[in-house]
Each structure stands twice: as C-alpha cells, then as structure tokens.
Structure 1
Amino acid sequence: MRENLHFFFLLFFISFIAHSQTKVSGQIKDPNNETIPYCSVYFKNSTQGVIANEYGKFYLESENTYDTLVISFVGYETLEISLTKKVNLDLNVVLQEDNLLAEVKIFAGKTSKKNNPAIDILRKIWARKRQNGLHMFNQYQLDKYEKIEFDLNTVDSAFQKKRIFKGMEFIFNHIDTSKVTGKTYLPIFINENISEVYGDNTINKKIEKTLGNKNSGFDTNQHIIAFVKDLYAEYNIYDNYLKFFDKDFVSPLSRTGINVYNYVLADSAFIDDKWCYNIVYYPRRKGELTFKGDFWVNDSTFAIKKINLEASKDANINWVKDIYIEQEFDVINDSVFLLTKDYMMSDFSISKKESSKGIYGKRTTIFKNHLFNNTKPVDFYKEDVNIYDENVYTRSDDFWKSYRFEPLNKDELGIYKMLDTLKTVPRFNRLFNIGTILASNYIQVGNFDYGPIFSSFGYNDVEGVRLRAGGRTYFGQNDKWRLEGYTAYGFNDNKFKYGISGKILLSNKNRLMLFGGNRRDVEQIGVSLTATSDVLGRSFASSSLFASGDNSKLTDISLSTLGFEIEPLKNLKFSTTFSYRTLQSASETFSLDYYINKANNITKGDLKQSEVNIAIDYTPKKKTIGYGVDRTIVDSRYTHLHLSYSQGFKGVIDSDFDYTKLQLYLRQPILVGGFGMLTSTFEAGKTFGEIPLGLMSVIPGNQSYFSIENTFNMLNYYEFITDEYTSLHLEHNFNGRLLSRIPFLRDLNLREIIGIKGVYGTISNENRALNASNIPYLAPEDIYWEYHAGIANIFKVVRIDFSWRGNYLHLPEAKRFGVKASFTLEF
C-alpha cells in the first residue's frame, strides 16, 4: 500500500533536537570479570532507573541533574558511584559479593518459586487485579493525548556523508541521544492525537472519539495515521499476555509468569506518600517472548504504581530490535490507582546487531480528567461505519495549544516545518517518487496510476508468455469513484484479453456502493470453493511461471457483473450481484462438454449462465484504512464469516441452467497465549439442480511450487469434483516456541508450523449423467485429507512447507509428497 511505504521512506529525511541533564552508561561485572545481568541501576533519591540487560550493560538518562548512581543486585554489595559530570559513559562497574547475604544468593540466576517474598506479593497482585483501576467503576470517561514520534537512530558521521543525502545535509544539524539506549538519533516524524474515551464495564463496551489529529508532513493521510496507531495497539499490563506486533508476550504480572520469569524483592520506599515494594524480574530462559525490568507495587491495594518492561534481546520477532515500556499510575481518592502516563519505544531494524541502524518508534500517551459512573445509552457506543470529518485533521494551532496535556518543545515543533523544506529539494523529490513506485506497485501520471507493475509478465500452458498493461484512476486516498482496467496478450494463443470495472460510493454513512464490470480472459477456474464478486480477480494459478503436471485445464471466460453493496453496521456487509458469464475450454486437451438431451448423444462445449447472488459478510474487529470506494485492511487476523445464496436462471439472456447454490465460509484465527496462532478455515456448500462441470464446486488443487491459501497442496486441478462439500483446514504456527528450546537452532529464529486439511463431497446421479467432458467425476466420498509441516522465517522472509497426502494414493498421478514455498513479511 503506497501510503504506508511512503511513510517509512520519508522517515529518513527529517530532524529535531532534545536536551537532557544526566547521562550514564556502562557494564557490570563481578570480581572474576563475569558479567552480572539484570542488576538494578537508578539515580539515588529517585525512582528513575533501568535494569541492566543480559550482558550487564545499561544506559540511563534523566532531564534532572543527579550526582550519584546506585547499582544493586541481591547477593552483591550495593554500589554507589559519584557522577562528576553530566555525561558519564562506558563505566566499568565491579560488584563485590555480599557475604552477609549468602543465604539469599539463590536469587542470583534462577530464583526459587517457594519461600520467595516477591512471588508472595505477586499472588496478591493477581487477587486484586480486577479490583484496581478502571475496573472499579461501572462507567468511566477520560481525555487522552497521544504523541507518536519516529527517529532515525545510530546516525554516525559516515552515514551523514552518504551521497544519497547530497543537498539535504541540513537535516543532520540536530542530533540527540536516546535516554533508553544511549544511541544517537535524528527525529523525523511526529503525530499527535486528542480523543475522548468512554467505557461501560457493565456491558463491556468502549469507544474512542477523536477530536483532533495532527502530523508532520502527511496532513489528512488516514493510511499513515491508522498504520502508525496499529503499530502500537493498546494493552493492559494486568493481562496474562501482552500483544505487540502480532506476538503474545508473557506479562510479568501474569499468573503463568512464575514459569518464565525470575522475581526478586529488591527494595521498598515511599512513592507519592504511598509505601511501595520494588520487584525486579528477568527471563528464566532465552528465546521466549518475555521482558526484563522492575515494578513498584503498593503495600495495601497491591496496585502497580510504576512499571518498566524491556523485551528480551533474543525474542523471536522480526524487524524489531528493542521494545521498551514505562507506565506510571497516580493515586485518586486515596486508594484508586489509575494509569496516567504510558511510554513505549520500539527499535525497528533489519538486523539485531548492536551497531545496526534503524528507526525508533516512540509513543507517549497521557490520560487526564477522569469521570466515573456517568451512564450512556447503549447506542452511544455504536461505531460509525464510514464517517469522515476532515476538520478533525485540520485543527488550528489554538486548538492544539488548548488541548495538549504537555507542550511540545521548540525542536518538536520544528519537525512540522522540516518536510516543507525537503519538498523544495529536487533530489528528495526524485527519491520520493522511486519509493512511491516500489511501495504502491503503480506509477502515477497525473490522476492515472499505471500498474500493477509486478503483474506485467506471466506464463501458462495456453497463453505461453503473457504481457499485461493496465491502470486505474487515482485522485486521492478517499476517492468516491474509481475506474480500473487492463489488457493482456498471449504469444501462444495470439489473443488479446481485457478487463474493466468501476465503482461509486453513493452514501458515506452506510457505504452504499454501486459496482460493475466486464472481463474476457483465460482463467484457471476451480481454485477456490467460495466465489468472489471481484470481476477483475484472477488467481495466481492462472499465471504460474512454474507449475507441476498438466497445467492446460484453462478456461476462456467472459464475465459481466452489476451489483450493490451496503454496510449498515460496522463490519457487517450485505451485497446483491447480478452476473452473466460464458465459459468454454481454452485448450484442445481439456473439455467442458456436457449432454443436452436425455439420450446422451448430443453435447455442447460452451456454457451461458445468468445468476443472482445475495451475500452477507461479517468481519468483527476488522481494521480498515480509508473512507472512499477502496479500503485497505490493516490486519488479517480477524474472524471472517461469509454466507452466500446464488440462483441461476435458465432462459434469462439465453442462460442454460436453473439451480440454487448455498455456501458458507468461516475463517477464525486464534492467538493461543504464548503458543502461537491457530487458524481454522471451514467451508461448506450445496448446489440444488442439474449443472455441468463449469458450474460444479471443484475441490481446489495446487500445481504450483508456491503456497496458495485454502487450496490442497497434493491435489491436481479437477482431481475432485462436487456439488455438495464440507472442508476444514487447521494450521498452527508456534512462532518458534519449540525451536527456541534447541540450542543450535535458537539463534536462527525459525518458526515451526503444522497443519491438516480435509474435505468431504458428493455428486448427484443427475449431474454425473450430464458429464461429457474428458474429466472423470470423482468426489471425495471418503474424506480426502493431507497434512503438512513447515519452517517459516527463513532469512525472515521465506517459508517452506512439506506436504503429505493422507489417502486416495491409488489414483493415477496421485502426488504423495510435495514441497511448497512462500514469501512473507511478518514481525
């Protein structure tokens, strides 16, 4: 999607400055020169501190001035270091063993689960976690200010001298140092959002209403705004699992935390006149989705006062080198602890090496003006389907001065001016245009997009080499109408193909849309059980450059559609489509023939069919971007329920058959806390009436060397035919949970996947009697099944699946074993 990649492309070209008073870094070792991991490091007489990493390294920064650094760990003498300068970097710290505490040295390394005061306190947190915070009230409302910032990090002099920045050297005028990692960084993007949050715990409803949004350089670009917000999903530290970048991290406050964390009661002190305990935690094992850090907890309510979390360096997550979180809670009414500030920083990088360059993503969220037990009607929490208020994204400077909970410093304000300067630099505009083409797959010329450019070349057995050219209208991200078309030519069959479609949004409020189009092309039909209404849709199997077995069973198809679509409720969509299609074989070796008389001595090779389809799509929790005719899905991990009713009409526009078809599709991904993702796909359908091969439900095979979703890897095209079917696909991605326990594989960050697929189907005797093609009608009346095991995240982008056929091994050309590949970009 063009806008998201625009965003990351632009992240390398803007800057600002910040200032801090005290900086300190170093490494902690014992007298034997062995590193001591997870020590507590903080400024004396403050609650500002960090936990050293697994190599004993630390970096700590504060806007205040401090003269003493304190380093402690149970089993060692606490060390105080005088800070003679504001900046004290690369300290070599040696802790001496504390003989007086020899009896508790069990807390160094793996700690005991028994007789551990830290775990005793943890159990009291579990008992009270639903009695703290917003859970204490039936209803709540609050104001929320969110600031998201992106910085280019590890900016050294050699990087600044690269030729790519020629003419843009001014962006390096101001560089600062991260208070978390100690690396140099160049701030390049900022986004601010003001909203009102309302919640009702009695009906489990919550809604957030945006009052204003502002960012540097992207104005009203909803794609960037939504993409940035999705990177930083909401989380509750009291939950057992915290979801970041589609991964389930075990919370240090989780009931299962004692199985994956070590806990140490390190200190106690008054914070805001409340006596609190300080507990340090760190992972028991490497390679798991865990954190290290510490938290302060009140001694009476056992509510968290302050917590910090830093993801394990060896956690199996791509493109993210560091995750760091701080949360602060304030006391209201003497006993209610409410989250008032949330800070999260992520270090996005291709490599996890310490010296690698990357991008910091920093989110600061502040909550204020809490009100409680103000009941709202249920309809108040109803989400808008498609309401777009451009005023929200064009608020005045006076609005932001009034609503910001903390003022921006002069350097943060300077980010808003930087992009305007860059736009005057010709070299930047050239680089921006190249990035636009690679990101969007289209070349924009005025209000026309040429592309998709990566679909320009293809190959199949009928067309041979296939060249394609096409494009679409594009006036902006929220276009109310759009036209799209293409033409293609095959050098084997010497035929031109084409497709054209159009759609217009008639109503914003409920997304009432009119659409239609026509396509004449060569297609591999029967590669999906559930039909699509996309008139220009053409499967990957139709243009596979590399295929196994006979790949000539292609069809000449002419398809025309006209339909309406409406979304009366958020993510609930109804559509009605009228279609007319003609089908005939595109190959001399493949036949779609059927008998047209009872004596079975007259055949017909082409098919004409008119059809009306009524469909319901329900996709709860689906996130989309855009308010025009085209919307982009942000995250594919949502429930998808599709119900379809189709009616064929014989005689309408010379149509050949009467029939009724019912179909059900259900896809359900489930995050299995700490054990990866289980995805199930269930499909069922039945056709009532007599129909030939061209209208049958073909069990989708896969003769390519690449994975195609919802197909059977070990089936050939047209191997099984049905008019009634039930199919189930189950796949579990462990996200490296198992391989992370194997020492010589742990560092590769591979991810293991297993799956099983099955289908059952039948064909009526009447439909069997119609068959005059050279395709035998074979239905999987004994459940056909196959299974697969795969390794994903090879070089972070490659997945290899090994598939085995479970039965029907006696059939001619039955494939017993196969290997499929795919390319993915995932965290």
Structure 2
Amino acid sequence: MLAQETIVTGKVTDAATGDPIPFVNVVFKGTSNGMTTDFDGKFRIRALAITPADSIVASYIGYKPRSKKIKRGITQVVNIQLEEDVTKLQEVVIKSGENPAFPIIRKVIDNKSINDKRKLSGYEHETYAKMEIDADNISEKLREKKIMRRIAQVLDSMDRIAGEDGKPILPLFITESVSKIYYRDNPSLKKEVISKSKINGVLGEDYSDLLAQMIGPSMQDYNFYTNWLNFGRKAFVSPIADGWRAYYDYELLDSAVLDGHFCYRLDFFPKSEQALAFTGTMWITKDEYAIKQIDATVGSTANINFIEKVKIQHEYTKVEGGAWLPVKSRVLIDVGEISANSAGLLAKFYVSNKNFVVNQPKPTSFFDRAIEKAEDANLEEEDKVWDSLRHEPLTTSEKNVYHMIDTIKNIPIVRSYVDILKLIINGYYKTGKVFIGPYLGAIAWNNHEGIRLQAGFKTNIKFSRKWVLGAQLAYGFHDQELKYQAFVKRILNRKQWTTFTLQSKYEITRVGFDEDFVTDFPLFKYASRWGRYDLSNYFHEYKAVFERELFKGFSQKVAVRQYDFIPTYPFEYHTSPADITSPTTNQFKTTEVFFESRYARDQVFLQNDNDRIGLESKRWPVFTVRYTHGFKSGLGDFTYDKIRVNVNKRMKMGPLGNGYINLTGEQIFGTVPNPLLGVHLGNQTRIYLPVSFNMLRFGEFASDRYASLQYRQNFEGLFLNNIPLIQKLKWRWLATANVLVGTLSRANQEAVTNPSGENQYKTFALDPAKPYLEVGYGVENIFKFLRVDFVHRLNYLEIPDSRNFGVFFSVQIQL
C-alpha cells in the first residue's frame, strides 16, 4: 500500500486586489518541502502524513508571510491571501568577493539582442485582453456619504472580488477584447485589430469605448529588454538595462525548472527609494540567459504622482527565430486616495497571447491605423460565444462584476455624480443628442466687453455619426456687441479620417492670438479673455476646411478663409502699403487659401464620439508645413504669401528627465499691415503657456521673417530628490528658455502708422542682430497639481511697459 499523503493545492492572491501572485514560496511549516507558485499564483505541494507540519507558510518579497492550518493525510484546497508589507525594506548584504548575481546579469545583457522580440522582422499573435477598474480603500467616512449609502447594499457583496479576507472593492469598469496584434521592424510599426469587444462601466457608453482604446493591449506593451519602460511620460529603468549596476542591487536566491527550462531566481532592488526603478523577482534561463518570468513593482516611495504601486508581471515563451515573447502579462496600477475622504483606484490588466507567427511581416501599408476595430466588434454576443473566445474562463467574482456595474450605474444619485464628472472632464454637459457648453468660457471680463456671458452647444454621435453641428453666442455688456460662431462638419471617412467643415464667426480677439496655437491649452485660451485689451480687434470670419489623412501619420488640410479686421485701438495703414504717400484707413479684409501638411510618424489617434484625439508622439518629431496665399479681390485688400514650418519633439533623457523642443520658422512675402505678419504670441495672463513668449505683451513684436525656439526641461526628481525635507513632497525642478530671431522690412514697418503715438498701441520690430531672450525656472508637482514658473526677460527692456520678470501658474495632471 502507498503511504498516506498530505496534498495541498491552492492559489495565492493579493489581499488588496485579488490578483494572483507568482513566485511565492509555499512550504510545509518547519520544513523546506514546498514549491513556488506559478504565473497564475497556483501551487500543489505534498508530503507524507507522518510529516509533523500542521500548517503551510507562504512568503514573498514585499508581502507579510502568512501561515494557514491544514489537515494531515488528506487532499485539500487552501487559498492564501498576502498583505503588502509597506514598512519592510529589503537589505542586500554584500559579502567579500563578487556578487554571484552579477555574472548572470552580464550574460543577460550580452544576450539581449538575441532574446529581444525586436530582433524579429515581424510577428503576430492572437490576444485576449481583460481590463478592470475598481474603487478601493473605501474608508468608513466615505461610506457614510449619501452616494455611498445608496450603494451600500452593493458594497456589502464586494468583498468576494478581492477574496474571502480581502478589502472591499467597488467595480467601475470592465472590458474584454479579442484581437490580433501585428508588428514589423524596419520601419518599426504596430497595429491592433479588435474583432470582438465587451464593455461595461459606470460612465456609460460615452467614454467606455475611448477608455478601452487608451488602455487596450497595444497600450500595455512593456518590454524589459529596452533600457527604459515608458509609463505615460515617465520612464522606468529596466532591471536588465545596460547601466544596471548604477540603479540596482541583486540577490541570487534559488534555481528551479520552469516549463522544462532550468532557471536562476534573481531578486532586484533599486539603490534609491525615489528612483523610477523596480523591486521584484525574475527567473533567468540557464541556456539562453533570457527572462522566463518576471514580477516587477514600483512602490509609493518613487517620485511619481497619485500612484501607490505599479506591478508588471510577464511569462515568456521562446518562439521560432530565438526571441522570447510574453504569453501572459499582468499589469496592476494602484492609484492612491487624493484625500482622506476619497477612495483609491485599481486598474488591472490581463493579456494572454497565443498562435504566434514570426518573421512574416505585413507590408507597411497594412499599418495605416494603429488601432482598428471591426464594425461588429461591439455587437452583444451570448455568454457561450465569449466562453469560446476567452483563453481561460472568468472567475466567479469577475462574472459578478458585470452585474454589479449595471446595478450601480442605474442608481439615480450615481448617475448625477457621473454627469458632474463628465462635465469636469469634457467641459460640456451632455443631454440627449447635444453637448451644452463649453462651461469654461461661460463668463469673462475685459475692458472692452465688460462682463461677457457665453453659451453654446454641439451635437454628438447620437445625433449623427456623419454630421456635427455647433454654435456659440456671447454678449458683452460694455460694448453691447453680440458675438457668434456656428459650424457644420461632415465626417466623410472615419477609417481614413476625412472631414469637411464650414464655419462662420464674429468675435473679438487680441492681435496675434492664433487659436490654432492654443487649441491644446483651453485654460489659457479662456484666461486670455480676461483683463486689459490694448491691441485687439473685432473680426468676421468665414472658413471652409477640408482635412484628410492620406496615409499613416501624414495628413493634409486645405482651407479657404475670408476675414475682416476691425480694430478697437488707434490703428491705420496705407491703402497701398508699398506707397507711404497713399491714403490711410483703419480696417481691412483678406481672402486667403492655405495648404497644411502634417507628418507624425508614430502618433496614435483615438476616436471618441465624433472627435479624433491624437496622443503624444513617442519617438519621432512632428513636422508641420503651411503655405498661405492671400488674394487681392473684392473680398481681399492684399496679395501676399506665407510659408511656415514647425517641428516639435519630446526627448527622453533617462535620469535627466524629459526635454521638449518647439522650433518654428516663417517667411512672409509681400507688404501688408502688421496684423497679417508673424505677430509673436505674448502672454498677459498668469497662466503659463509653453508655446508663447510669456514676457511679451500681446502684439508687442511682429516679423516678416523669423525663427523661434522654445525649450523646456523637466528634470523630474533629479535634484530635489536629494534634499531631505523636500523629497517627501515629490516636487520637481524644471527650466525653460525661449529664443526669437526676427526681422521686419522697412516697407512693412512703414505700411502702418500709429495715430495716437502711444507705445501701448505700437507693434515693434526686432533687431535682426539681437535675438529676444527669456529664461525661466520653476517647480511642478506642488500638491500634485500646481506648477509655478519664474520667467526673466533678458533684453528689449527699453521698450516702455515691458516686464523683466513674471510669475506664472498652471494646473496639470501628470504622473
């Protein structure tokens, strides 16, 4: 007869999140008999019944050890939840001689080019992705709030999402998708084709699809074989980066056979608590020195906003061609509470890949869109269909999430709070087929309009997927002028984004204020409506714009524009600008056509409602070229040509943070009044604008030929992390510099007169041998939201009313 055995199987999970924990040591108490959990947190251990152990013990780096009672001599299931140990700091003891982990790490570095998936000319695979966003750390004080009392009954059943003794979690959003991922090298291109998608969230359908695009599997590709892993605008140093020894300490702790591969276990720890580096465990294969499994965590001590923890887990398999690709991945992002009365957020991602095809790259034309969704992807399918699509079944708690979200979002008070949140995010209030707003510009005051009130609307996708209508009305109680704008946009093609827009507008603006420059800065746009207007004008504008994406990253825009200039300040120009003896007048009109080409090689675009949203380019610069021709006709007083070129790029600098450069050059051909020249964007608000010259007045300088450079350096925590009293605040140092070189021909200088003779109404010319300079420095991440810039103007201080120093503020949400 076989000796009686004690067999224990189970799963180890995180008590706070419910996610499985790989690499956990599970042993019979008082013995070395046990194993480590697999990627899914599962274990199976056995011992003879005569073994005296009456408990099993689970332990893992970063968690408090835990034991659980067992019964001897039977087969049983024992699940264990581990609580994070936030106070315990791992110490690495360096003994005499070389650390035995170092030779292994060197071999890993030497073999990166062989094992990295980027060595392949191309690969593709089927992907199942599951993403869930939950509210966690729901305090008792928050539970007493009216909205929380209404959903208390739902909350009482939340415990089983995290597990039998886990913390309560409130589900907010869940999505599943089945897709194919394609990659090719030279050029490096990636595409996700979503065939099926299932989405449910408390925000409803308005943002769920956009959120699914933003956090889909193609956005969760973290490659540890690169030196830096990008997370938003943050860059985390890989534990196998080329400069590993400067950032990490290592311990060689164990060896085991995983899926037939003999592997070394290495634990790694950042040398600095504030560094954007990982703590965790990786298993390295003995033969290829490739990562077989990795569990890497960035904790709350790192200089990163809002985030308590980022955990990335990968399990790899070797494919044809020798590279290792992830077959399973998990990413967990734990967002901390903003205040004692708020809750935190958990974002959990799971990706499973299978059926790999390598070294058969698709043609570059195939990658015209980074994310493509089948027309029937969102069609509801029966549960049995999804059961066949999933790579593995949902857990019981995951099945309950769909029902819980439906219950929560139908509670009236929850719907009210959701509407308020949408208003804050979007600036508009949605009612049926229409958005009302934007509310940010609802009221303003300036010396020309007095109190200004504004209201508007635009239609949404429920009105039409092809037509967008919108209008705004504004009234100034001092100038007693009714301003308006109205537009109609036809979406001709969503796949290869193509639109045609007609627009009519009557407004007041500042001279040199180009809305194309400030589209991405709505706070500055509306702040500029406040205060004193010295150089300003009313205008009528009629515009027709056709825009099309011709191929991936390259878009073309063609527009025809008619514009009337009506000044509010003393302004006159010669009716024949080239003839200073010609009569003068103070109003003009123009008719122009412009052609704009834009190339952003690796920019990803998402679609939300009837809008197209461009994410920041990751690696390549963005080029924009615009040619404008003005016609002299019954609707235009001048003939002129303009050519403007702009290049902007974000530069990742590792430990130095991020640099941002914006280069612009323009040439105007012809003699025209200065409002039609290159009027350099100033700033008379207290809101910092990175694309303006913040110490200039609006309309202070104009050029017919110029080049400008705007640069800012965000040092992250490079300097302030080393100051003991400040490092806990997680403030970040930054520096800025703006340079402007320009010239203005004598003909263009003499084309305009200043009837009042007052400098406040004068637009000046730059000395071509004397660049305009302003430099700044500042601190960001104050209270996690506030940025303060101190800017010095270094020259042209002889100009009356010029400012040599300014303090500016901005609100930003960043990690």
* TM-score (norm: length of structure 2): 0.85
Tell me the residue number matched to 2:376.
391
1:753 corresponds to: 734
- Structure 2 CA distance, aligned partners of 1:88 and 1:166? 28
| Corresponding position of 2:75 | none
2-side partners of 1:135 and 1:621: how far apart?
16
Q: Which moved more, 1:751-760 or 1:272-281?
A: 272-281
Q: What one-letter code is carried by the residue in structure 1 that aligns with 2:254?
A: D
1:48 aligns with 2:28: no
> Which amino acid counterpart does residue 223 of structure 2 have in structure 1?
N
Partner residue, 1:483 = 469
Aligned position for 2:703: 722
Question: Alpha-carbon deviations, 1:651-679, whole Å to 9, x = none?
Answer: 2x342111111111111112222321110
User: Residue 786 of structure 1 corresponds to which residue in structure 2?
Assistant: 774
Could you give the per-residue CA deviations for residues 235-289 of structure 1, whole angstroms, max 9, x where no partner exists? 1011111111320011111111211111111122222332211111111112111
Q: Kindly tell me: are residues 499 and 206 of structure 1, through their superposed partners in 2, closer, same or farther at Cα, counting changes over 3 Å?
A: closer
Query: By how many angstroms is 1:136 displaced?
Result: 5.8
Query: Deviation digits for residues 376-430 of structure 1, max 9, x if unmatched?
Result: 5514633248965330122523442222100112332232233433454333333
Task: Tell me the distance in 2 between the aligned counterparts of 1:93 and 1:492.
Answer: 60
Q: Distance in 2 between matches of 1:315 and 1:93?
A: 13
Going from structure 1 to structure 2, the CA distance change for 1:157 and 1:726 (only over 3 Å counts) comes to closer
Structure 1 Cα separation of the partners of residues 483 and 688 of structure 2: 27
Which letter maps to 1:684?
Answer: G
Query: Where does 1:60-209 land on structure 2 (aligned, <5 Å)?
Result: 67-69=55-57, 83-84=68-69, 108-109=91-92, 111=94, 115-132=98-115, 134-135=117-118, 137-155=120-138, 159-172=142-155, 173-176=157-160, 178=162, 183-201=167-185, 204-209=188-193
- Looking at structure 2, the residues matched to 733 and 431 of structure 1 have their Cα atoms a distance apart, in angstroms, of 35
Equivalent residue, structure 1, for 2:312 = 325
| Matched position secondary structure for 2:802 | coil
Partner amino acid for 2:600? T
Equivalent-residue separation in structure 2 for 1:334 and 1:610 (angstroms): 60
Asked whether the 8 Å contact 2:455–2:474 carries over to 1, the reply is yes
Counterpart mapping for 1:617-632 below 5 A: 617-626=598-607, 629-632=610-613
User: Where do 1:459-474 residues align within 5 Å?
Assistant: 459-474=445-460
Q: Secondary structure at 1:815's aligned position in 2? A: coil
| Compared CA separation, residues 335 and 612, structure 1 to 2 (3 A) | closer
Calculate the TM-score normalised by the size of structure 1. Answer: 0.84
1:371-450 map, 5 Å: 371-373=357-359, 375-379=360-364, 381-384=366-369, 389-394=374-379, 396-397=381-382, 398-450=384-436
Deviations 1:28-66 (A, max 9, x none): xxxxxxxxxxxx96223222399xxxxxxxxx9767689
The answer for the alignment partner of 1:575 in structure 2 is: 557
Partner Cα distance (2:521, 2:713) in 1: 28
Asked whether 1:551 is paired with 2:536, we answer no
1:500-544 Cα deviation digits (max 9, x unpaired): 11110123343332111111111012135x96799x999946753
SS at match of 1:674: helix
The 1:498/1:219 distance shift into structure 2, 3 A limit, reads closer
Corresponding residue of 2:20: none
- Matches for 1:652-801 after TM superposition, within 5 Å: 653-773=634-754, 774=757, 775-781=762-768, 782-801=770-789
2:272 to 281, 285, 303: 285
User: How do 1:232-631 and structure 2 match up within 5 A?
Assistant: 232-330=219-317, 337-351=324-338, 357-373=343-359, 375-379=360-364, 381-384=366-369, 389-394=374-379, 396-397=381-382, 398-476=384-462, 479-528=465-514, 540=524, 544=528, 547=531, 551-587=533-569, 590-596=570-576, 598=579, 600=581, 602-626=583-607, 629-631=610-612
Q: Aligned with 1:428: secondary structure?
A: helix
SS at 2:35 equivalent: coil
Supply the AA of the counterpart residue of 1:582: D
Q: Is the CA contact (8 Å cut-off) linking 2:300 and 2:307 kept in structure 1?
A: no
Q: Which residue of 2 aligns with 1:31?
A: none
Q: Distance in 2 between matches of 1:574 and 1:735?
A: 36
Deviation at 1:642, TM superposition (A): 1.2
Contact 2:511 2:699 in 1 (8 A): no
Measured against aligned partners, the alpha-carbon deviations of 1:573-596 in whole angstroms (never above 9, x if no partner) come to: 111111111102123xx4253454
Q: Give the C-alpha shift of residue 754 in structure 1.
A: 0.6
Residue by residue, what CA displacement relative to the aligned partner does 1:189-216 show, whole Å, maximum 9, x if unpaired?
Answer: 3211111223334654433322211122
Give 1:699 deviation, angstroms. Answer: 1.8
1:100 aligned residue: none
Q: Rate the CA distance shift 1:478–1:206 in 2: closer, same or farther, 3 A.
A: farther
Structure 1: gaps spanning 5 or more residues? 1-18, 27-39, 51-59, 74-78, 96-106
Report if aligned partners of 1:665, 1:684 keep a CA contact under 8 Å in 2.
Answer: yes
Rounded to whole Å, the distance in 2 between the matches of 1:273 and 1:542 is 63
1:418 aligned counterpart, secondary structure: helix
Q: Supply the distance in 1 between the matched residues of 2:462 and 2:353 (Cα, whole angstroms).
A: 34
1:260 and 1:268 map into 2 onto residues whose CA distance is 24
- Structure 1 residues 677 and 385, CA, compared in 2 at 3 Å: closer, same or farther? closer
The one-letter code of the counterpart of 1:593 is Y
**Alpha-carbon distance change, 22 to 786 in structure 1, aligned in 2, over 3 angstroms:** closer
1:818 and 2:806 matched: yes
Distance in 2 of aligned mates of 1:241 and 1:751: 20
- 1:184 offset after TM fit, Å? 3.7
Task: Give yes or no for contact 1:456–1:468 (8 Å, CA) kept in 2.
Answer: yes
Matched residue pairs, number?
Answer: 762
Q: In the aligned structure 2, how far is the partner of 1:676 from the partner of 1:112?
A: 34
Percent identical: 25
Q: 1:386 touches 1:508 (CA, 8 Å); kept in 2? A: no
Question: Secondary structure at the residue paired with 1:393?
Answer: coil
Q: Deviations over 1:579-630 (max 9, x none)?
A: 111102123xx42534547353621100111111111122232233227652
CA distance in 1, matches of 2:572, 2:44: 80
Query: Which deviates more from structure 2 when the two are superposed, residues 267-276 or residues 251-260?
Result: 267-276
Q: Whole-Å Cα distance in 1 between the matches of residues 803 and 86 of structure 2?
A: 63
Shift of 1:820: 0.8
> Is structure 2 residue 625 aligned with structure 1 residue 643?
yes
Which residue identity does 1:718 align to in structure 2? G
| Corresponding residue number in structure 1 for 2:4 | none
Q: Whole-Å Cα distance in 2 between the matches of residues 663 and 93 of structure 1?
A: 54
The alignment's C-alpha RMSD in Å is: 3.6
Partner Cα separation in structure 1 for residue 722 and residue 333 of structure 2: 25
Q: Distance in 1 between matches of 2:160 and 2:452?
A: 53
Match of 2:216 in 1: 229
